[in-house]
Structure 1
Amino acid sequence: MVLESQKYQVSSNRPSCTCQINRLLHQRESYIFVTGAQPFDSNRRSSFIVYHIRLNDIETKRRYSDFASLRRILTRLYPIFIVPPVPEKHSLLDYAVLQNRAKNDITTIEKRKRMLQSFLNQVSKHHYLGHDHFFHQFLDPDVVWSDVLQSPSLSSFLKQQPLHMALTNSSNVSTQLSLSSLSPISSSTSLSSSNATSLFYCPARPVFHPLLSHRIVPTPTSPQTLQQRDPFLITSEEKSIHLASFLSKHLEKCQRKVIRRLGELANDYAELGAVYNGFSLNETEHVSNAIERMGQTVDDAYTETGQMVLKLEGEFAEPTQSQIQMTMFVKKVIQFQYLKQCQVELIEQALDRQQDELDRLLQMEKELQRLDRALQQNSLNTISLPPPSPSQEQYTHRHRHHRPRRHQQLDSYRNPVTVNAAGHSLQHLIDVDPVTTRRNQIGKSKESLQILEEALAICRNDTHQLSDQLHKEIQRYERDKTMMLRDSLMAFATAHLRYCQKNLSAWEDTKSQVDRIPLE
């Protein structure tokens, strides 16, 4: 089965989609904003939050499950690309604490807005994901996303076993697919000039291949039996596991503690500011003014501390959480590559067994043909013997009548007519035509051998493509990870620097106000 989505063309540089969304994203280097979130009641029984997405002057509304489905589609279409994460769903603890207010919790909604915005911008900056037309349709307000998900081609594609997919390359496979059948778009959708097709190049796109789902083609469930592993992938997997462990057990834990205590400090500042403001009412003139100024400065400290908490949440803690998820995605794409390699090895083993079975059948056929030729030659020699003389026949007939009864019984057992009748009866019970059956087995073995050889060629080609692309993708991920860590550390330092500068200015003014209090 081939996905009915887009038309491909070979490009030596970057993939190019000619729809309006792609032009806005990449020709103008636009940034995607999640500007708001509002509850939407479809009926009295269920409600959900709709997030407003803005790209230049285009605004689209999508719910959280739409973001999750977009990521699932991109993950299946590009199994070796590390697709950025979306924020996690509400945990059971959230529902236990907030109950019916979990979906409408302001803190959770604001966090999701920031992380969904980060997800969209990371996808748009990816060298292939950002040019995928499903992503463009997600940002198009004229596209009904539920219709895209319910299209027969896409829904059938998502149900297929990933290892039954063959990766196509535009240099050797050109696929023309109907855009309208996969993702219905209203007539007002703005596409390029004369046609409603999207042209882009993808290095490896999965297409369902019936041969890989054949019963004799093995499908591995785990890469435990893999004999040869790529040292680069082994190192990358170990690094990602170590990084995930360090981030989740140490860095994120400390971040949560610091941010929680800063939030508590902000609340303490708010309470202290109110106390100082009340205290100023009990004093007069210079003392009252100084105490009131002290209260205002503490209130400013409360505001600045709250802003720093938000900045650390969005630019320091949340990127760390995303990075933890990304490390797990790195492990998953490497595991997929291991499964493809394991599939190749299992097919090679099945091919060797099938070849041995075919050799055995051919050797058996050769031996039986040699025996048939020998029996035919023996029968010809028997027919060519001269007939016995009359005197010999009379002697034999007379001598046979005078033999003992025991010898006559032995003759009956040795009678070839009786043996042949029993043999034919047994032969009919076992096999009607052993020669035809044997030759059918040889034909089936040759057919199975051909299927396994074709499946092996497909899987070897896929594994080679996956290996090259996965190396490049992991290298890209390492660069992005370094940039993310740099930005996070810079955001942490900048937030504290701004916080200290603001507080320093405010407390200097407060100090000068306190100095005006007369001592006499």
Structure 2
Amino acid sequence: MSLHNSFDTEDNPFSNMFSSGAVNPPLEQLQSNSNGNNELTYDYGNENEVEGHDDLKPQSPTDRSPSNFSSTTSSPTSSNINYEPYENLSKSMAITQPLQYLDGEKVTIKIVDTGRYTDPYGKKNAIGYVIQYNDKEVVRRYSEFDNLNKILIKLYPTIIIPPIPSKHSILKYFLSPIHAQNDPKIINTRKRRFQSFLNNCYRVQEIRKCIIFQKFLNPEYIWKDVLSSPPVTILPLNNLLAPPLNPTKPSPLHLLLPAPNANTKIESNLTIDRNGEDSEDTLIHKYDNQLYQVELRLSNYLSKFQPMSNKIKQNKFHLHSLSSNLAELGAYYNSLSIDYTKLKQLSMGIERIGHSFDVNYVSLEILIENINNLIEEQIDEIIGFLTDSKRVIIFKNLKILQYRIIATTIKKRSGRIKELRNFEEKLHKLDESFHESESQGDNDANLHHTQNRDILSHINERQVQLQLQKKRKKLKRPTTNLEPEFLTKIERTNEIERLTKEVDKLNECFKLVKKDISEVIASTLSSLELLDEFIEKKLKLMLNNLTQAILNWITESLKAWKEAKIQIDKI
């Protein structure tokens, strides 16, 4: 279930910068865009393009190279800014500054550019993202990232897969299709999020070694060909019917396993006693407390982060309103200073007040952008991790349910066999006791009775058959559910043979699913614990970065007003 239905559709915070006319630097000079330097490490473990370009034909490696790529959204950095900034506005506030990293790791995979690229036939085009890895560059679209994410989820049901940015909302595309396709804010956000996704995947050992992930980063592979070849084409429809750690190589027994769904309730007690031990398998109990504790912590995280994300969006809206008021005040004071040009000291003092309001406005807009990049996007990413953790937990629970279904079935079949055999033993004892009582009588009488008994037994057998048929019609149940006394000797014998074969096969399945359970629980516990540790580290890092951003904003504002006070004191 997706928790993000649309991107924040607010306008770029710098789109109206200096619209009041108080100051004149161009927009690009003040926009603080991140080139991925705020990448945070992750140390564990299709969208159908809204533009409607899913039928884009694959390009050859040369066609998809960045040389055929038209960049439309590259952003300025500190290296190419050639304007003269405010004398009292520190460059340390820019989001392009290097941020702290988890565990001191650096970015391995980078998205160096974004833009619109065209297929070899020039018929279709879409926004592409230039991925740089091992001195090679490859262009991938959103739909290809989305395909990769879905494939990894199918390949690794016990591993939490890093999230990708959400799709365009249908409402946004319907109201403004052109803006939805080319919104630079959304494109830059996706650029940062896709870079985070790739690096988080790279830090998971299983994903890093995955051939699908390696082909995604290799410009020599056309993604459409990757999707139409193994192992993608041999992925199971249901991971419960395949080995959990290697779903592309199922055994014949896996296809015989039951496939419960998410609506199936897990029984509280296992109703089978294996080898005289406790009915509940010790393997499940071994990690039960650890799993419960980590699942509870992650559930609490999710319940806290979702409302927090909404609150951050509200606070951003209020900060935008405040910055607009500051911009207006700066414009009014600057205009007023022109009216007093004859009084130089007074004019300079008024202008300095307007200048201070302008600095407050610019620094506040930078703070808002930092909140978006350092807090809002990171929380959305954490929510994506937590959402995927629920998928892993559900798979683990379904695998346990599968284990219990097989165990219960074995118990039921074995009980039926025992019931039929006990009935046969009772009949055999009754028959022996009947023969012993006959042997005590007279031989002549026995001969006469034997002849009569043979005749009567034939008649009685036919009567029993007729009675059984009448009773079966009234019961309307299959013979497997009938009490033994309603079955003939041949039917009981056949059912015992059939059930014995079933139990033998079920025992083989039980051994297989028991091995699967061991792997699933160990892998799931490891993945959840690493996510818990990752969130704790990331929260600490987010708070440190946010504190620094707020401190920079306050420092710059205070500095501006101190200088304004000096000028006012000269009047």
Same topology, TM > 0.5: yes
| 3-state secondary structure, aligned to 1:466 | helix
**Is 1:164–2:218 an aligned residue pair?**
no
CA contact (8 A) 1:223 1:335 kept: no
Q: Give the 3 Å change call, closer, same or farther, for CA 341–438 of structure 1 in structure 2.
A: same
How far does residue 489 in structure 1 lie from its aligned partner after superposition? Answer: 0.4
* Secondary structure of 2:172's aligned partner: helix
Aligned to 2:549: 495
- 1:243 match: 301
Q: How does 1:263-278 map to 2 (within 5 A)?
A: 263-278=320-335
Deviations 1:90-118 (A, max 9, x none): 22443354344323222222222222222
Give runs of aligned pairs for residues 183-332 of structure 1, distance below 5 A: 207-214=249-256, 217=258, 219-222=260-263, 224-227=265-268, 230-249=288-307, 251-284=308-341, 285-332=344-391
Q: CA deviation at 1:45?
A: 8.9
Q: Are residue 132 (structure 1) and residue 210 (structure 2) matched?
A: yes
Structure 1 contact 263–306 (Cα < 8 Å) conserved: yes
The Cα offsets for residues 170-229 of structure 1, whole Å up to 9 and x where unpaired, read as: xxxxxxxxxxxxxxxxxxxxxxxxxxxxxxxxxx666434323327x4635446223267
2:290 maps to amino acid: F
Contact 1:293-1:513 at 8 Å conserved across structures: yes
- Contact 2:107–2:199 (Cα < 8 Å) also in 1: no
SS of 1:48's equivalent in the other structure is strand
Change in 2 beyond 3 A, CA 1:137/1:415: closer
Deviations 1:265-322 (A, max 9, x none): 3333333434344334333244444444444443333332222211111111111122
Q: Look up the SS of the partner of 2:243 in the other structure.
A: strand
Equivalent in the alignment of 1:476: 530
Give the equivalent residue in structure 1 for 2:33.
none
Scaled by the length of structure 1, the TM-score of the pair is: 0.70
**Does structure 1 retain, via aligned residues, the 8 Å contact 2:334–2:351?**
yes
Aligned pairs for 1:77-96 within 5 A? 77-96=155-174
- Tell me: CA distance 1:263–1:209, structure 2 relative to 1, closer, same or farther (3 Å): farther
Query: Which residue of structure 2 lines up, in the alignment, with residue 352 of structure 1?
Result: 411
Deviates more, 1:134-143 or 1:356-365: 356-365
Query: Percent identity among equivalent residues?
Result: 26
Go from structure 1 to structure 2 and tell me whether the alpha carbon gap of 1:137 and 1:267 turns closer, same or farther (over 3 Å shift): farther
Give the TM-score, by structure 2 length: 0.64
Specify the alignment match of 2:84 in structure 1. Answer: none
Match of 1:150 among 206, 218, 228: 228
Structure 2 CA distance for partners of 1:376 and 1:52, relative to 1, 3 Å: farther
Cα gap change, 1:133/1:424 in structure 2, threshold over 3 Å: closer, same or farther?
same
Deviates more, 1:117-126 or 1:356-365: 356-365
Structure-2 change in CA distance of 1:463 and 1:282 (3 Å): same
Structure 2: how far apart are the matches of 1:264 and 1:145?
Answer: 45
Amino acid at match of 2:147: S
* Bigger shift: residues 261-270 or 371-380: 371-380
Decide whether aligned partners of structure 1 residues 280 and 242 sit closer, same or farther in structure 2, where only a CA change above 3 A counts.
Answer: same
* Aligned residue runs from structure 1 range 33-48, under 5 A: 33-40=110-117, 48=126
Matched, 1:462 2:519: no
For residue 426 of structure 1, report the CA deviation from its aligned partner.
7.5
Counterparts of 1:218 and 1:105 in 2: how far apart (Å)?
44
The answer (yes or no) to whether the contact 1:218–1:346 under 8 Å persists in 2 is: no
CA distance in structure 2 between the partners assigned to 1:113 and 1:238 by the alignment = 33
Q: Aligned-pair distance for 1:349?
A: 0.5
Q: Which amino acid aligns with 1:50?
A: G
Contact 1:280 1:288 in 2 (8 A): yes
Deviations along 1:501-520, one digit per CA (max 9) or x if unpaired, are 2233333333334444xx4x
List alignment gaps of at least 5 residues for structure 1: 1-13, 16-27, 169-203, 389-413
Q: CA separation in 1, counterparts of 2:554 and 2:457? A: 113
CA distance in 2, matches of 1:491, 1:29: 17
Secondary structure in 2 matching 1:36:
strand
Please report the RMSD computed on the Cα atoms of aligned residues, expressed in angstroms. 4.1
> Which is further off, 58-67 or 43-52?
43-52
Aligned equivalent of 1:486: 540
Aligned-partner SS, 2:160: coil
Q: What is the alpha-carbon distance in structure 2 between the residues aligned to residue 116 and residue 314 of structure 1?
A: 14
1:343 CA drift (Å): 1.2
Residues 367-446 of structure 1: pairs in structure 2 closer than 5 A: 419=459, 439-446=493-500
C-alpha change, 1:293 and 1:94, in structure 2 (3 Å) is same
Give the structure with the larger helix fraction.
Answer: 1
> Per the alignment, in what secondary structure is the counterpart of residue 190 of structure 2?
helix
Verify: 1:338 aligned to 2:392, yes or no.
Answer: no
Shift of 1:487: 0.9
1:471 maps to amino acid = L
The structure-2 alpha-carbon separation of the partners of 1:415 and 1:448, relative to structure 1 and needing over 3 Å to count, comes to closer
- How far 1:348 moved relative to its partner? 0.6
Distance 1:360 1:415, change over 3 A: closer
Bigger Rg over Cα: 1
- Is the partner of 2:396 in helix, strand or coil? helix
Which structure 2 segments of 5+ residues have no match? 1-43, 46-104, 270-284, 448-453, 473-478, 480-487
Answer whether contact 2:295 2:528 (CA < 8 A) is retained.
no
Q: Deviations over 1:13-69 (max 9, x none)?
A: x99xxxxxxxxxxxx965322233223466999753212222353222111122222
The residue that corresponds to 1:141 in the other structure is 219
Secondary structure of residue in 1 paired with 2:114: strand
C-alpha contact 2:294 2:532 (8 A) present in aligned 1: no
